[in-house]
Amino acid sequence: MSKLSKDEIGKLAPATRIVANGRNPDESFGFVSTPPYRGSTVLYPDADACLSHRNRYTYGRRGNPTMEALTSLWSELEGAAGTVVCPSGASACAVALLSVLGAGDHLLVTDSVYRPTRDFCDRVLARYGVTTTYFDPQIGAGISALFQPNTKAVFTESPGSLTFEMQDIPAIAAAAKAHGAVTLMDNTWATPLCFRPLDHGVDISINAATKYPSGHSDLLAGLVAANADTFPRVLKTHGDFGIYLGPDDVFLLLRGLRTMPLRLKEQAASALAIAEWLEKRPDVVSVAHPALPSHPGHALFKRDFSGASSLFGLTVKQMTRAQTVAFLDNAKLFGMGYSWGGFESLIIPVDATEFRTAVPFAPGGSAFRLQIGLEDTTDLITSLEAAFAAAAAA
């Protein structure tokens, strides 16, 4: 915002920085939000500017005021040297990996990684001569034993967005640095409001902006932020692929970001309350929420994270297919959909047995994943009570 310098904004609380940063009403004729700039061609004011490429913007794909508003806001929030915007979270993971890997390289990836990222490693990177080793998410500093002479990168995700294991990110990042490798982290679960990867030794932070930054389940986007040593490689790869997100989606993403702190705070509180309620039920085997003291990674969560989000796992006593159907169909306030971070609550069944390789998936019962939205907490609990009753009666 024009009334505050970047240094002044940087001293404010995150929620205030998200409101104040990434917009300049003086350059938008006084309008509060930067409008969506649609266009490909950018005209130079004169021949000298054209010959020296002196324009602030040179071509639509290379940036415009709307895109700059988003990337400057996100870079400041992450503490990054720069950010690129991708058309989805999966695309962001791919761009980040391709920025630091080449033919003949070796990659270490957490066994709890987002499934599309795993597929990209196994299907695409493998075709171009990159080998991948999946490791136990809870390996910590022990990851040093897995490095090979050609290991160039380590891909982490904490907690895993399907099985919720916590990772010792500082220890893993330190091991990677000692071996000359780059550390990447999918930080979609926490966002930089609850965990800033670059502050803990990570080089590249990835966020599926489809989730909490958007917050309204109406767009797809991904953000890749990196430190000063790594960002030039990310920017070059992003440009070489000609990746671009349309201005209207960028505008919507900026609009969603302004309220992300409030939404995330409300959803996190509701999610924890529901997780605590579930943990007390006799038909529940375990609740995989890092903020619960019972979670195996709770100590790491308390040490490194400033807050939680709205996504967690649930394992109940083994259900038959009929009971599972009754449970899902009668949780009527919970939609069944493979996303999260929006305003609505969701639930899906979970089975990672077919793709986990380093650590077998053995939840000890029927597993589900819950995303808690902005509905009233009491209403959501009532809906889950009805689901449990229906399953018991099936």
Annotated catalytic residues are: 61, 114, 186, 211
State the angle between helix axes of 321-330 and 377-393 in degrees (0 to 180), rounded to the nearest 10: 150
Residue 168: CB atoms within 10 A of its CB come to: 24
Shortest CA distance to 259 belongs to which of 206, 212, 308? 212
CB 192 within 8 A of CB 317: no
CB 154 within 8 A of CB 128: no
The distance from CA 108 to its chain's CA centroid, rounded to whole angstroms, is 19
Shortest CA distance to 250 belongs to which of 44, 364, 83, 9? 83
Residue 352: CB atoms within 10 A of its CB come to: 18
CB 387 within 8 A of CB 331: yes
What CA–CA distance (Å, rounded) separates 113 from 162?
A: 8
Quick one: DSSP state of residue 122?
I
Task: Say if residue 149 is preceded by a cis peptide, omega within 30 of 0.
Answer: no
Rg of the Cα atoms in the chain: 22
DSSP state letters, 187-222? -TTTHHHH--GGGGT-SEEEE-TTTTTT-SSS---E
Count of positions (residues) in the chain: 394
Three-state DSSP at 236 gives: helix
What CA–CA distance (Å, rounded) separates 164 from 131?
A: 25
